[in-house]
Structure 1
Amino acid sequence: MAAAAAPYALTPWEVSFLDPLREHRNALIILNQPFSFPLLDRVWHASRWHACADGGANRLHDLLISQDGKDKRHLYTPDLIKGDLDSIRDDVRAYYASQGVRIVRDEDQDSTDLMKCIGALVEDEKTERHVEVPKCQYHRSHSTAHATQQNTIVLLGGLSGRLDQTVHTLSLVHKLRKSRRRTFVITDDNVAWLLDTGEHRIHVDHELFGPTCGLLPVGIDSTILTTTGLRWNLRPAASLEGLPLSALADVLAARHPGTRLGEVLAQSQWAVDEEMVEDPARVVLKGGEEVAVICPVSGG
């Protein structure tokens, strides 16, 4: 006897990466898009590793050079600036170089500046430059090993501006789901992350977020989705494949309770793929047909 399929594991989600008072393993990557100082201040102090993807350094520098009439650049010094460096201005590069910031030119044309920064984070995690990695227990051979602990990636920007950059951000987050446990994208208007196949429970702090949310399919043709806890929850639609046309009226009426739809359909005729149907009981839907209702007409 075949074993029953194991249920999906429940994946919990929360937006604690926005709370600077909690201890985090967050890595912040600043992209070349506008953001506000309050948002920067929140995600910066909630992160332990900070990088600018090329022109993101311009955004950081210009926002801080005169914030509330004060120069606050020295309070927000990134660990790394990386990319092909075709966007960072000379004055910005000179300033951060004087502050001892690692500035790395990577001319790989097959990777974007964002991808290069993520690659640098992975290397830093491996070499423990910014990540404390605990020792594993001794094996029987008495050899030691180190387990790499991942940071949660927080991308500041990436959901506004040029369409190709926004699509690239979503595409990259979709690809990262196989290698990174947590990747968030945040702007002043949105926070986004990817829910892979399985069951998820999301805790939302309504002191930080408003009452709206969206579920957008990415990289798939279709999905079966069920939600609870929303004002308007989603339920998987019942398949009409194999349904006799004579039963379709009951299905439609059940989806619209409190109406007279059932009475109207009982007096109506049907057409399938532009062909009138004489006996609905003899027609079985296969899926994909165009079904039309010819309602009764009263009056003369």
Structure 2
Amino acid sequence: MSNSNSSLKSRWNVEFLRGHGTGRQLALIILNQPFSELLLSNLWKAAQWHCCADGGANRLYDTFQRDEDRKNYLPNLIKGDLDSIRPEVRRFYERQEVNVIEDDDQNSTDLMKCVHALQEKEVNESSAQYHIILLGGLSGRLDHTVHTLSYLHKLRKIREQVFAVTDENIGWVLDRGEHEIQIDHDLLGKTCGLLPVGIDQTILSTSGFRWNLTNQMSSFEGLMSTSNHLVRGENLVWVETSQPIWWTVELKHLH
């Protein structure tokens, strides 16, 4: 493995955390986990399509105290088996003509149902593929977190870029190959990790970190690059991996 300037590199940035677009259409899917109003506001402004996965509608509703404020954050869709959304929350959004869809398929989670709805939208509108931002998914119940890790691992085969964001950190799957990640030190904290989740092992090479790797084997039973550090002044990190891995980095508090 070598650090080349291949045109096949995947390039990543997190400018949407500032409320900015990234040059691609963004879809925001709100999960049933806590988040701050500022993080929601920034992601909402960056996205062109907004969806709540069942109880995520409760989280969106409870972010604001007044209906006047809630009306400024009306999702395009609320979807799931609807066993978590509170009756008064459902009534409010239905009165605002938000599309609320009940899907009882027990072989798919509420998150999966929302992604399927986005895929249908893309087909019906013949639109380019949206990049997806999940608000939540990396905290709370361990089984929910593992589902997020697993589902994004699978989505890498059919979706170009899918991010999971909480107030504490952001993560996504780096598929096999080379990746360049733009580092905004005003947004990102220093602690990061490359996690061999869902694979037996991978071979990693990196640059731009405090502790870099060169053709290093990484696995659950062996070395894992956790608690690595970004380097102030390095605005780009490079990762080459022989198998898909999870990249995660802590977030600073937004202002």
> TM-score w.r.t. structure 2 length?
0.79
Q: CA deviation at 1:152?
A: 0.4
Distance in 2 between residues matched to 1:223 and 1:24, nearest whole Å: 30
Structure 2 counterpart SS, 1:210: strand
Please say if 1:167 is aligned against 2:164. no
Distance in 2 between residues matched to 1:94 and 1:71, nearest whole Å: 15
Q: Is the 8 A contact 2:205 2:216 kept in 1?
A: no
Structure 1 pair 43–237 and aligned structure 2 pair: CA distance change class (3 A): closer
Aligned to 2:237: none
Q: Is the 8 A contact 1:24 1:46 kept in 2?
A: no
Q: Deviations over 1:182-214 (max 9, x none)?
A: 000000001001001101111111111111211
Distance in 2 between residues matched to 1:49 and 1:192, nearest whole Å: 21
Structure 1 pair 54–235 and aligned structure 2 pair: CA distance change class (3 A): same
Aligned positions of 1:1-300 closer than 5 A: 9-22=8-21, 24-66=24-66, 71-128=68-125, 133=126, 148-237=127-216
Structure 1 pair 12–202 and aligned structure 2 pair: CA distance change class (3 A): same
* Larger fraction in strand: 2
Answer with 1 or 2: which has the greater Rg.
Answer: 1
Q: CA deviation at 1:13?
A: 1.1
Distance in 2 between residues matched to 1:159 and 1:151, nearest whole Å: 21
Structure 1 pair 124–231 and aligned structure 2 pair: CA distance change class (3 A): same
> TM-score w.r.t. structure 1 length?
0.68
Structure 2, gaps ≥5 residues long: 1-5, 218-255
Distance in 2 between residues matched to 1:170 and 1:49, nearest whole Å: 23
Structure 1 pair 153–98 and aligned structure 2 pair: CA distance change class (3 A): same
- Which structure's relative contact order is higher, taking Cα pairs within 8 Å and 6+ residues apart? 2
Greater Cα offset, 15-24 or 156-165:
15-24
Structure 1 pair 89–125 and aligned structure 2 pair: CA distance change class (3 A): same
Aligned to 1:250: none
Distance in 2 between residues matched to 1:24 and 1:37, nearest whole Å: 24
For 1:118, the aligned partner's letter is: V
Structure 2 counterpart SS, 1:227: strand
Q: Is the 8 A contact 2:17 2:42 kept in 1?
A: yes
Structure 1 pair 63–237 and aligned structure 2 pair: CA distance change class (3 A): closer
For 1:33, the aligned partner's letter is: Q
Distance in 1 between residues matched to 2:13 and 2:36, nearest whole Å: 22
Distance in 2 between residues matched to 1:77 and 1:24, nearest whole Å: 21
Structure 1, gaps ≥5 residues long: 1-6, 134-147, 239-300
Q: Deviations over 1:81-139 (max 9, x none)?
A: 000000000000000000000000000000000000000000011112xxxx5xxxxxx
Q: CA deviation at 1:9?
A: 2.1
Distance in 2 between residues matched to 1:190 and 1:203, nearest whole Å: 16
Structure 1 counterpart SS, 2:184: coil
For 2:14, the aligned partner's letter is: V
Distance in 2 between residues matched to 1:232 and 1:92, nearest whole Å: 48
Distance in 2 between residues matched to 1:214 and 1:237, nearest whole Å: 14
The number of residue pairs the alignment matches comes to 211
Distance in 2 between residues matched to 1:104 and 1:41, nearest whole Å: 24
